[in-house]
Each structure stands twice: as C-alpha cells, then as structure tokens.
Structure 1
Amino acid sequence: MTGHGTPVPPLTWLYVPGDRPEMVAKALGCGADVVIVDLEDAVAPDRKEYARAATAELLADQVTAAPDAVPVHVRVHGEDDVRALAGLPGLSGFRLPKITHAVSVHHVAAVAPDVPLYPLLESALAIEHAYSIATAHHDVRGIALGEADLRADLGVREDAGLDWPRSRAVVAARAAALPPPAQSVFPDVRDLDGLWASCVRGRGLGLLGRAAIHPRQLETIERAFRPTAEEIEAAEQIVAASAVEAGALALPDGRFVDAAVVASARRTLAIAGRS
C-alpha cells in the first residue's frame, strides 16, 4: 500500500511448468510479483497427474503460505485440478483457461468458493463476452487475454491485430471495477527489444504489467510498465492539489482534473513506489 492507501499492483507474472517443481522453487525467488504454476499447456498429457500432485505438495508447504511469500496462482487444466488444490494454504488464485461464458466461472466458483479467479479470454467468443465474464462472480479478481490461442482463432499475424481485443479487455475490466489486465506472454525469450516494444504498445492501450515465460524477461517488463520521471512529477502535482481541494480542480498550469484523474495519479505513484 502507498501512503494514500492505493494498492500496489503487480507488474510481473511468471509462468512455470507444474511438472518441474525444481523450476517452481527457483521461480519463487527470482523477483516476479506473482508465480503462475501451469498445469495446462506447459504440461504433457502423461505428466498431468504428477504435476497436480507436485503442485499440491508445494501449496501445502507453510513457506508458500507465509504472509510475505510470493503469491502463487495455478493455471488449471480441469475440474480435477480445482478440486485437488482448492483450500490449500499456499494458493493465491486460479487462472482459468479458455473461458467463453460466465457459466464456466460460476461452476469453478461453486467447486472452489472464496478462491480468487482470473479467467483467460482466448477466443473471439470470449472477447465478445468479456464483460459478462468479468462480472460473473464476486470471486473474479481480474481478467487477461491468452494471446497465442486468440491469434490462432482470429487468424492474426501482426501484433497490431490484437489492439482491439486488448482494448476490449481493458474496457471490460474497468467497467467491472477490476484492475487493468496484464499483457499476455511474449514468446521469444531472447528478443528483449521486441518484448520492450510490445510492452510499450500494450501499456499505451491501458494494459498493466505482463506475464513472462522466463526470468530474463522480468526486468524488461518491469521497466516498460514503470512510470517515467515526467509521469511521476505530473502525478505528484495532481495528488498534492487534490489534498488541498476536493472535487474537480485546476492545476497551476491551467489543466482541470477530476476524481478519475486523481485516482489514476495515485496508481501511478503506487507503481513508482514499488520496492
């Protein structure tokens, strides 16, 4: 939290295969804000049961359940994963792949009550239903895109072809009073320049933070989504002015700002103040 009570949002989300517990252990100490143990695409069919058991062992460990532990989310493969992992002390949330309708979210929430849920929108149908999915249940704490499947579904090759689905997810999340969605993974772990450019584009569309598939991507993502010195200075001016005058107010340079702009400025300072 900041001094203004604004939550500090995560910027980096690191995916790790669930059948590689040694990699998961390393990921917990690599500096990501959230570690996502993947039981879906990253695990071969004949390794699913082992991955589930290894993840259950991890989440039962008191180390992952400690107040200062890195939050651990699990991208589940099906209901068996949900039933096996719900209620374990180290679980911070479920990532729900290939969600297309609100009813699917309701089903998971019924099986795993009070577990934070993060539906992934990975098809044209999911994008069309983005708001109903985002508001499906009070346990939904965020939405995000699954861009690899979405690209295939839409036949999109260029990054710009995802601008509208990304914007649709941003609008749906905001309308549902959820945090801005994090950007989906960048598949080439060696191309940090390409990752940077893609992050800058996503940030311009209103996305906040990004999922990674390798620790070497984390620093680039962090830098790309941190506010610039100019943005911090502007936010400080807005917050300072709001402390003196409530409601719509005028800044010394003649700009008028309202409550929504003040809230955005507080979020900027929260991100800037991350340790």
Structure 2
Amino acid sequence: MAPRSWLYVPGDRPSLLEKALARGADAVIVDLEDAVPATAKEAARDQVARWVAAQRPGGPCALWVRINPGAAGHADARAVAAPALAGVVMAKCAGPEDVRALDAVLAERERAAGIAVGRIEVSPLLEDAGAVLAAPAIAAASPRVRQLQIGEADLCADLGMEPGPDERELLALRTHVLLASAAAGIRPPVGPVFTDYRDADALRRSTQALRRLGYRSRACIHPSQLPVVHEAFTPTPTEMDRARRLVDRYEAAVRAGQGVLTDDGRMVDEAVVRAARRVLAAGEAV
C-alpha cells in the first residue's frame, strides 16, 4: 500500500535504525543529509549501506534513504541500493536534470546488484522556489518518481515566509505541487514534517487540512506523531460504510441505465463515486 506515514531517522545513529522499523510507521526514511554532520557523512553512508544490505525485502515498513545533493548523493545511492531498499528521497532536487542523472546512477547499480532496473523509486524533495516552479517537469522526469515532497523549512527561508498557526501562507505552494503530481499521474505529495512533536492537537489540525487538500501521507520526525497521522489518513468505519453504499447504489443505477442519482439531496455522478472508491481503496489497504 502507499504509505500514510514516513518516519525520519538519523543515519548516524545505528542504535535507532532497528528500532525505527518497529515503531509502526508505514515507511522509514534514513537520513544521510541534514541529520548527519558534514564530518560524519562518509561513516554514516557506510554503516547505513551495511544495514540496508542486511534487511529482508518485503517487510511491512518500506525502507527509504534520503541522500545528499549532487555527487555526494550519487555516492549515497550507489552505496545503499540493495534489494530491501524501496526508494531514495532526493534532497534539494533542483530540476528534472537532477532526477535523470540519479536515474542513470540507480540503473547502473541495479544492474550490478541483480535488481530489476527501475524498481528503486525516487521522491524528489523540493526545497527552494526554483524547484517548486519546476515541479511539473520534476514529477514527469522519470518513471521512478512516485511522489514529490516539499521541504517547507528551507523553502520558507528561501522565500522569507513566516507561516502562521493556520498555515494559510503555504496553501498556494502545497496546491501547486499537488496539481503537478496529479498532472503527472503520480501519488499525491508527501505532507511536510511538523516540527513541534509535542503539540498533537496542532499536528492533527494541520494534517486534517492536508487531507482535505488532497494529500494522503505525511513525514514525521518523532514516533509520537505516527498515531495522529495514521488517524487523519485512515478512513473511519462510518466513512467506509458510506462510501461502500454510495458505490453500490451508483453501480446499481448504471446497470439500470442511469448515470446520475441523488444521495441525501446531493447529486452523485462518476466524479463523486471516484472519490468514494478512493476512500474504499485507502481503508482496504490498511
């Protein structure tokens, strides 16, 4: 299933890696970039590569690695590419040419490691204005690109933006990246991290707003955030029941030669039913 939660784990803290897989996240992102000091990056790369190589493919928690920008990131990708690796997060992706260059590096490593070429996915992280404006081209740059992410802390610093508690200043940016993703036919973007892991109520409000916008997952910096994120992105039994009844009624109407029906005074057509099917798919996957 597509992850609802993405838990970041520092790549230079080997004691946290094994624990991270058991925290309940749908996906773990081992961070070789911002979480690792410059002087420790090579050592972190080596130990993360050994750890990833020792993992079994197909576990319940998808394993991702956030790589550094540029040549260092290519070295990271070569080192960590292994059968258990689901994908890499591209820190500070600047444009589609960055994606294509990484694509070539991964293809070379997959061939050498006996991995099907193209299996390792890529999630570009957009962290400045140029990258956000290039989101449509980045999203379509390679079949490996499965979802985009926004690095909002770096982006806000780049723009001089100071979001308020309701985060409305970020709405245009989040919507733009969502549109770019939908146009490219890839998954909705991964929601940004919420830095105050102690404020569960604010996290819940923010995540529910992301869900209403069309996002279906969020990155987390602490395991305590996982239950809140899962709750927001998991349909309730009531939502599942309503969606199932709506789909069943619509399919019966179509068989009877009708293309539209009403439900509690609301017109229901294929577009409405498509949303209901998404709810069912999300609930059944969980």
TM-score, normalization by structure 2: 0.87
Matched, 1:199 2:210: no
Distance 1:139 1:199 in 2: 26
Counterpart code for 2:58? P
Matched, 1:106 2:100: yes
Matched, 1:273 2:268: no
Question: How far 1:58 moved relative to its partner?
Answer: 1.4
Question: How far 1:232 moved relative to its partner?
Answer: 2.7
Number of the residue aligned with 1:184: 192
Counterpart code for 1:24? L
Write out aligned runs for 1:21-100 (5 A).
21-61=14-54, 64-77=55-68, 78-86=73-81, 88-100=82-94
> Are the counterparts in 2 of residues 15 and 38 from structure 1 also a CA contact under 8 Å?
yes
1:184-239 deviation per Cα after TM superposition (whole angstroms, max 9, x unaligned): 10011111111111112222221112100110000011112223455333311232
RMSD over equivalenced CA pairs, Å: 1.8
Counterpart code for 1:217? Q
**Residue aligned with 1:132, SS:** helix
Number of the residue aligned with 2:156: 151
Question: How far 1:47 moved relative to its partner?
Answer: 1.1
Matched, 1:123 2:128: yes
**Residue aligned with 2:173, SS:** helix
Distance 2:268 2:140 in 1: 29
Matched, 1:249 2:260: yes
**Residue aligned with 1:182, SS:** coil
> Are the counterparts in 2 of residues 58 and 90 from structure 1 also a CA contact under 8 Å?
no
Question: Structure 1 residues 58, 190: closer, same or farther in 2, change over 3 A?
Answer: same
> Are the counterparts in 1 of residues 122 and 147 from structure 2 also a CA contact under 8 Å?
yes
State the structure with bigger RCO (CA 8 A, min sep 6), 1 or 2. 1
Report the count of equivalent residues. Answer: 265
Distance 1:271 1:204 in 2: 15
Distance 2:285 2:234 in 1: 9
Number of the residue aligned with 1:3: none
Question: Structure 1 residues 248, 172: closer, same or farther in 2, change over 3 A?
Answer: farther
**Residue aligned with 1:112, SS:** helix
Residue ranges of structure 1 left out of the alignment (5+ in a row): 1-7
Question: Structure 2 residue aligned with 1:262, among 270, 273, 276?
Answer: 273
User: Of Structure 1 and Structure 2, which has the larger fraction of its residues in helix?
Assistant: 2
Distance 1:92 1:27 in 2: 15
Question: How far 1:31 moved relative to its partner?
Answer: 0.5
**Residue aligned with 1:211, SS:** strand
> Are the counterparts in 1 of residues 26 and 60 from structure 2 also a CA contact under 8 Å?
no
Question: How far 1:173 moved relative to its partner?
Answer: 0.7
Distance 2:277 2:11 in 1: 36
Matched, 1:173 2:173: no
> Are the counterparts in 1 of residues 261 and 269 from structure 2 also a CA contact under 8 Å?
no
> Are the counterparts in 2 of residues 65 and 91 from structure 1 also a CA contact under 8 Å?
no
Number of the residue aligned with 2:111: none
> Are the counterparts in 2 of residues 241 and 251 from structure 1 also a CA contact under 8 Å?
no
> Are the counterparts in 1 of residues 63 and 86 from structure 2 also a CA contact under 8 Å?
yes
Question: How far 1:126 moved relative to its partner?
Answer: 1.2
TM-score, normalization by structure 1: 0.90
Distance 1:130 1:161 in 2: 19
Larger Rg: 2
